[in-house]
Structure 1
């Protein structure tokens, strides 16, 4: 049996995560801003496209189960990234087309975001399954935190670079910058996964009897686990809260604070920089990396959710205060708290991924990925629709954004409560869950 992944292999997986994040940033952040502000489309259009790409990701468990059956994950990763890259290029062209050819551009955009969703689902689910099955149990939480930190770092670098290169904005500049980001991300993925899978440690096979179960049996086993069910609920609510501001933050900066496309894209980079700092802080704190008792993970998750709620209330105040508000610091604080709860949740997720009696890592990561996808799709769409409805009914941009930020803060407080419930355990299962988390 292979010895398993060392830290260099974990960093290579993190490079793929960074590549996925860099391309998705273009579609869900930059193009969203351009559609709403530069091209004057209602926010529901990009929100609907992003929601559709998340709906496509509901097939994540199927992709994960397929890679479990075949135990060949590298083709899924490279193939998924190729589809993602193609979809992102088509999305850029569709955005430009919609200003002059609404129907043709809209059809192309739907196809593009379908490819983006399929590419993210196939490559992302398989990559996480490879990480979970290739790293020894006691190092899974640490490995997950490292890869997510690298993913956020990739988003920060790509957002900051794109923000600097896009000003002054032009469609030709948009094509060059986005094409460069996509090409670099795909090339990095191919290099990073070259001969990587042969070092995987498939130690879970020793602990499970027989081959991987069929898809329905695998889903049934996961749904019967109390810890898995509760964690799935927490993932859904917390990601719903997180994603409600994802599609409206840059339009908020443009409409209320009068920022340029480059400035608002750089603001997204500041937010992701805060996420990166929060992840590092949680890692250095020891809970995610040490893999200790659930109470430590619970403290980081709850504190991160509560802090996110406070930061969102700050954005609600910013909507009224206007340009005088320290927006960059507020957005950084939101990202920091998001990162703190995310890295602890990721540590728990990676521990639970290998806890099935017969189910493999691919299908389990697929289930949680699907829950996250549903939440992100619904959250982004609800946030954008809420802003549109509030703007039309009240006629005031600031008040519309303020309402959504308050609702999102409330959702984060609910997520904090669910985190307490999800990470608590009965006397009968406490010893087992402590070992997992």
Structure 2
């Protein structure tokens, strides 16, 4: 029994809750540490990087949900751990005002819990979607769940931002606790019973337990799974390289104020939203193009948009086209991202049976590592380049490198991903025996 549209929407609510909690850690707490507490910006940057690094445990969570046969518990439990981590991270930040060392230690522990919670809940959720969604609905399912995550991020940031004015540590603790409690409650109600109905009356065949490393080795021996992991790492590194440098580029090269650059970032996210929606409607509803074609279009379009952004910095009136180019970048980023997620869900079900969670975990870990390294590399590269040349040229060089990575990712997608949305090619999953 495959998931109905209502069940897919319910699972999307879990993604919404994940986005709602994570944005508080990566946005709200980041701002309070730097502005209200006057802490160095590198501190929240390292803490956020820690939560990405911890997500290297995603393959382990996926393997556990594969072998223990109850993804629902991992989704709910992971969300509870994430909510606890979010509250402790807020408490640690508050402690830093009076007991810096104690607050820092608590914050490190809290962001570790955040990484574990995101890994356990997010990986198990994607594995459930991959195994239970009809292949014809996978692109739409990816679109729905990711759009709901973006919606959760936007709504939470807006509502908490308004409720937090005027700021006080006590109020922030109360708001984070409220959001965390609501996230766990909504997640439990949203996912409860879906996995059991998907199984129906089919018995679960228990297999002899094997160590995690052996299970992961089985997946790594699958040629397409291994190559897809490398594709995810490369493409997501390119995707996240501009995350920390686009707004500084707008300010330094075009004179935009903080408010204007924030609006520019909002316009980019609007483009991401539209790009995801286009792929969901076209690939599923109208049957236009394969997921491979949409991934390649998204990668190549992103590369062209980045080259345009780099060129605008060298033009006297380039600022007039900055927003359209940024929206275009968001549009193609969104197309690529949701098509890649759809392909990930399709490929997760191929190869050795009962390893969907392990594959999703492996790819999720690759994505998380790329997110952390991509943002760090982009910012560091700009700092180095600015010592050697002017601001516009420095940013342009990094955008050009990012564009090159997207082109390479498009070539890899053409070779790795099947022409159909989920056409099985089991011969590629037999490992390398030659």
Question: TM class, shorter-chain normalised?
Answer: 0.7 to 0.9
Question: What is the CA-CA distance between 1:129 and the residue it aligns to?
Answer: 1.4
| Equivalent residue in structure 2 for 1:300, among 285, 294, 301 | 294
Q: How many angstroms apart in 1 are the aligned matches of 2:94 and 2:242?
A: 24
Q: How many angstroms apart in 2 are the aligned matches of 1:347 and 1:232?
A: 14
After superposition, give the CA deviation of every residue in 1:230-257 in whole Å (9 maximum; x if it has no partner).
Answer: 2111111111111222344456667763
Q: How many angstroms apart in 1 are the aligned matches of 2:48 and 2:25?
A: 8
| Counterpart contact for 1:230–1:421, Cα < 8 Å | no
Aligned residue in 1 for 2:432: none
| Equivalent residue in structure 1 for 2:304, among 306, 310, 314 | 310
Q: How many angstroms apart in 2 are the aligned matches of 1:327 and 1:179?
A: 39
1:167-182 counterparts in 2 under 5 A? 178-182=176-180
**Structure 1: tracts of 5 or more residues without a match:** none
Three-state SS of the structure 2 residue aligned to 1:217 is: helix
Aligned residue in 2 for 1:419: 413
Aligned residue in 2 for 1:68: 66
Aligned residue in 2 for 1:370: 365
Matched, 1:346 2:345: no
1:255-266 counterparts in 2 under 5 A? 257-260=256-259
| Counterpart contact for 2:139–2:342, Cα < 8 Å | yes
| Equivalent residue in structure 1 for 2:133, among 132, 135, 151 | 135
Query: Given the superposition, is the C-alpha separation of residues 138 and 299 from structure 1 closer, same or farther in structure 2, using an over 3 Å criterion?
Result: closer
Q: How many angstroms apart in 1 are the aligned matches of 2:208 and 2:139?
A: 26
| Equivalent residue in structure 2 for 1:405, among 399, 405, 408 | 399
Aligned residue in 1 for 2:425: 432
| Equivalent residue in structure 2 for 1:336, among 324, 331, 339 | 331
Q: How many angstroms apart in 1 are the aligned matches of 2:311 and 2:185?
A: 43
1:120-159 counterparts in 2 under 5 A? 120-159=118-157
Structure 1 range deviating more: 81-90 or 12-21: 81-90
Question: What is the CA-CA distance between 1:401 and the residue it aligns to?
Answer: 4.5
Question: What is the CA-CA distance between 1:123 and the residue it aligns to?
Answer: 0.4
Aligned residue in 2 for 1:7: 5
- How many residue pairs get matched? 423
Three-state SS of the structure 2 residue aligned to 1:200 is: helix
After superposition, give the CA deviation of every residue in 1:181-222 in whole Å (9 maximum; x if it has no partner).
Answer: 44443332122123332212389989x995675433332332
Question: What is the CA-CA distance between 1:60 and the residue it aligns to?
Answer: 1.0
Q: How many angstroms apart in 2 are the aligned matches of 1:240 and 1:188?
A: 32
Q: How many angstroms apart in 2 are the aligned matches of 1:395 and 1:39?
A: 34
**Structure 2: tracts of 5 or more residues without a match:** 430-434
Query: Given the superposition, is the C-alpha separation of residues 20 and 209 from structure 1 closer, same or farther in structure 2, using an over 3 Å criterion?
Result: closer
Structure 1 range deviating more: 90-99 or 129-138: 90-99
**Scaled by the length of structure 1, what TM-score is found?**
0.82
Q: How many angstroms apart in 1 are the aligned matches of 2:126 and 2:91?
A: 30
**Scaled by the length of structure 2, what TM-score is found?**
0.82
| Counterpart contact for 1:18–1:154, Cα < 8 Å | yes
